[in-house]
Structure 1
Amino acid sequence: ARLVSNRLQPAVGVRELNLSANRIGDRGAADIADALPMLDSLERLLLERNRIGLVGAKALGVRLPRSNVRELVLGSHLGGNPLGPQGVKALASALDDYMPRAASDRATRLGALSLEDCDVGQQGAEALAEFLPKSCLQVLSLARGNIGDSGAE
C-alpha cells in the first residue's frame, strides 16, 4: 500500500481507487490516508476486505476531511473490515470534528459511507447517529453491522 500511495500522489486525475481485498491492514490504510490530501480528483475510495481495524479507521478519519473523497467503501456485500465499534466510533468522531469547518463546501464533503459487515455494533451506531445531523451523507450502509435492537433506535 505504501508503494501505491507514493506512486499515486502525482496522479491528480484519478477519480476512483479500488484497493479491495488486498490485505493492506491498518498500516496500508494509514499510508493511503496520508496520500489522500494530495489526490485532488479522488472522489471514490474502495477499501473493503482489507483487514483494516481501529488504527486504520483513525488514520482515515483524520485525513479524509482534508480530501475530496465523496464516497468511502469500507464494507460491501462481499465483505467488510474488522473496524469494530471503536473503529467506527473513531471514524465518526473524526468526521464529526471536521464537519463544522467544512460546512461552506458541501460539494466536496463525504456523501456516501458503506460500513457493511464492519462490526459497527451499538456503540458505533450511536456515534454515527451523533454525526449524521451535521453531515452531508446521502447514503449510509450498515448491513450486517451487528447493531442490535438498541443500536437501531
Structure 2
Amino acid sequence: MEQNLQEALENFDAATGDIAALRRLMAFSRRFVQGLRVQQLPSHLDLQLLFNAMEHSPASLAVSYGQRCVGMDYDRAAFGASLADCRCLARGLALTETLVVLELSNNGLDDDKLRMLASGLADNISVTHLNLSHNRISDRGVRALAKLLDKNSVLSLLDLADNHLHADSGRALARTLGHSRALVSLNLRLNRLGDEGCAALCDALARAQVPAAARPAAAGSSAGGNSSSTSGSQQPQQQQQMAPLERLNISSNGAGAGLLPSLCSMLRSNRTLAELDVSSNAFSEHVAQELLSAVSSSALLGLDVRGCALGATAEAAISEEVLGRLAKTERKRLLGA
C-alpha cells in the first residue's frame, strides 16, 4: 500500500489528474501506510491534502521536489521546493499530530523557505526527527529554526549537514543547548562554522555541565548559611538545564587549533555527550597530546579524529582510549552492573 500510494503521488499530473480519486486513495490507504518516501513530485501537490486525508498517518515522510529520468528534457527550475510548496507543507505540519520523521534533504531550501517551514513547525508537537541536509540554508534560516528549540520543543534529531552555515549559526545553535530538553543528536557536517562557531557549541556544552554550586555567587548574596541555602535551591534548577545532547558532528567545518581550548574543556566537563565527530578539520600534531589528555578524562564512547593532521600514532592512541572505554561500558551493561 505504501508503494502504491508513493507511485500515485510521484506520477500525479496536476493538469490532467483526478484529484478526487487521489484523495480517495489516500483515505483508503491511511490504515496501512506508516512511511512514505516520495522521490519525485513534479506536480508540486499541496501536501496539506495528504495530512487532511490520511488523518493518523503517515509517521514518516521523505519528499524530494524534482523529477527522475528526465533525460534531455532537464530543466533546473523543475527541481527543488518553491516558497509556495513550503507554505503548503507548513500548513500541513501545523495540523498533523502523528508525523514523527520529516526528511527534506536536497530540496534547494534557502533561508526564506526554512522560515516558512518553521512557522508550521512552531505549532507542531509530533516531529522529533528533522533532516534538512544538502540544502542552501545559511545563518538567517538557522536563527529562525533555533528559536523553536526551546524547553517545549520535542525535536530530538536535527540534521543540517552540507548547508551554508557560518559562525553565527554555531552561536545561535549553542544558545539553544541551554534551553532544549529534547535535542540529543545534531549533525553540522560539511559547513563553514570555523573555530568560532564550533567553539561556541563546545563552550555551551561545557557550561551546561557546571553545577550551580560551583558558579560564582550573584552580586549582593550573603555568605554562610544563606549562601548554602541558595546553592542548594539552585542545584535542582541547574540539573534541569543540563544539555541532553548525546551526538554531535562538526566534521569538515574548517576548524583548526583555535578550537582546541574549548574542545578540551568540553571533553573534560561534559558527561552526556557519547559520540563526537571532528574529522577533517585542520588540527596539528602539536596539539595531539593535549587532546589525548582531554579524551582520557571524557565520557565519550565514540570519537572520530581522522583527517585532522594529528598523526597516525596520536589517532591510534585516541581510538584505543575510546574503544577501551566503550568495551568497559558494554561489559558493565551485560553484567548488569
TM-score bucket (shorter structure): 0.7 to 0.9
Larger Rg: 2
Return the letter of the residue paired with 2:248.
L
1:60 alignment partner in structure 2: 201
Question: 1:33 and 2:171 equivalent?
Answer: no
**C-alpha separation between the residues in 2 aligned to 1:40 and 1:113?**
19
Query: What's 1:85 paired with?
Result: 257
Per the alignment, residue 47 of structure 1 pairs with: 188
TM-score calculated relative to the size of structure 1: 0.81
The structure with higher relative contact order (CA 8 Å, sep 6+) is 1
Q: Deviations over 1:28-86 (max 9, x none)?
A: 100000011111111111011110111112211111232111111111xxxx1111122
- Residue 284 of structure 2 corresponds to residue 121 of structure 1: yes
Selected match of 1:146 from 309, 318, 331: 309
Q: Distance in 2 between matches of 1:124 and 1:142?
A: 12
2: CA distance between counterparts of 1:44 and 1:28?
16
Change (3 A) 1:127 1:17: farther
CA drift of 1:124 comes to 4.3
CA contact (8 A) 2:150 2:181 kept: no
* C-alpha separation in 1, matches of 2:246 and 2:286: 24
Q: 3-state DSSP class of the match of 1:60?
A: helix
The structure-2 alpha-carbon separation of the partners of 1:147 and 1:22, relative to structure 1 and needing over 3 Å to count, comes to same
Counterpart of 1:22 in structure 2 is 163
- Aligned position for 2:274: 111
* Cα drift, residue 149 of structure 1: 4.9
How far off is 1:97 after superposition? Answer: 5.1
1:69 is aligned with what amino acid?
Answer: L
Distance 1:124 1:26, change over 3 A: farther
C-alpha separation in 1, matches of 2:159 and 2:185:
8
Structure-2-length-normalised TM-score: 0.39
Determine the C-alpha separation between the residues in 2 that align with 1:141 and 1:97.
17
Give the total of aligned pairs. 140
Structure 1 residue 5: deviation in Å? 0.6
Q: Is the 8 A contact 2:275 2:300 kept in 1?
A: yes
**Hey, what's the Cα distance between the residues in 2 that align with 1:68 and 1:16?**
12
Q: Please tell me whether the aligned partners of residues 166 and 193 of structure 2 are also in contact (alpha carbons under 8 angstroms).
A: yes
Question: Identity percentage over the alignment?
Answer: 21
**Once superposed, what is the RMSD of the aligned Cα atoms?**
2.0
The CA deviation at 1:120 is 2.6
Aligned pair partner of 1:8 in 144, 149, 158? 149
2:266 pairs with 86, 95, 101, which one? 95
Change (3 A) 1:11 1:49: farther
* Partner Cα distance (2:156, 2:163) in 1: 19
What stretches of structure 1 of length at least 5 have no aligned partner?
A: 100-105
Task: Confirm or deny: 8 A CA contact 1:61 1:90 kept in the other structure.
Answer: no
1:62-118 CA-to-partner distances (Å, cap 9, x unmatched) read 11232111111111xxxx11111221x03323314524xxxxxx5xx1111101111
